[in-house]
Amino acid sequence: MNAVLRITGLALVALLAAPVSIPQALAADDVEAISSDLTLIFRAARKMISDNQDLINDPSKGDKGLSATAVVEQTKANYKTATGKDLDLSDDGSPAAKARIAMIEAVRATMDEAQPLINEQGKGFKGFLPAVFGGRVASNFSAAMAGTFAIKLTAPKAYVRNRANRPDEWENKVIETMFKQPGYEKGKAYAEAVPVKGKPAYRYILPEYYGASCLGCHGDPKGEIDITGGKKEGAKLDELGGAISLIIYQ
């Protein structure tokens, strides 16, 4: 009886304390805004890699001109096209500003590190794909923001190629019981305040779908070997293919 009362008491305290523990600059709507913004920056950067895939895979060229600076500049341009506004990278000391800057720095670090690989002359396919780029940006960002923000590229369990991208329990639940349901509004993010490994957190997850350009690797016939040496998933056009998942620790 006592134990029950104590647990209930703790749960109540946790519930009441939750909004108070959100950093001032990240209260209420701000958490949703920065989540959406970070996924937009991530996608704007990844688009630069998809748009240049043929160039990256070209064995006849050495220097591809895809320096960190060039990719960051194009990321800003893609962001502006997608949102209609300039990417604000000013540092007002807020967690949101720090996270935006860290995302751009993660893109920069990923591209600096990738130079020898993508500039190798005489080699065609180099395995430097949007999802690989995205995975590296995500881990660079999450390492830099450890304990405050984390981002990850994931996918429906049945479609995951890289084990590091497997959905966790919460991601899997959202993907299977919401994103995959026929009535779910396409492209709509889902957010929830839910603890991660015992720490209070705000989670945000954005679904992504296979376009025509994805199906050469992820489409039919299922099981056929694609250019990367992996097995095609047999996915269909516009089917749910992945999700960008963000954690903001509170």
13-17, Cβ contacts within 8 angstroms, sequence gap of 24 or more: 14/200
Q: Does 67 sit near ligand HEC (CB under 6 A)?
A: no
Give the phi and the psi of residue 81 in degrees, each rounded to 5.
Answer: -60, -40
Of positions 153, 175, 206, 248, contacts ligand HEC by CB under 6 A: 153
Distance CA 148, CA 130 (A): 25
The residue length of the chain stands at 250
* Contact partners, residue 225, CB within 8 Å, separation at least 6: 231, 232
The piece of 19-27, 58-66, 108-116, 153-161 that touches ligand HEC (CB under 6 A) is 153-161
Site for ligand HEC, residues 200 to 219, rule: CB under 6 A: 208, 210-211, 213-214, 216-218
Q: Does 160 sit near ligand HEC (CB under 6 A)?
A: yes
Q: Does 129 sit near ligand HEC (CB under 6 A)?
A: yes
Q: Does 162 sit near ligand HEC (CB under 6 A)?
A: yes
Query: With respect to ligand HEC, which residue has the nearer C-beta, 96 or 174?
Result: 174
Q: Does 100 sit near ligand HEC (CB under 6 A)?
A: no
Q: Which residues bind ligand HEC (CB under 6 A)?
A: 129, 131-132, 135, 153, 155, 159-162, 165, 208, 210-211, 213-214, 216-218, 226-228, 230, 241-242
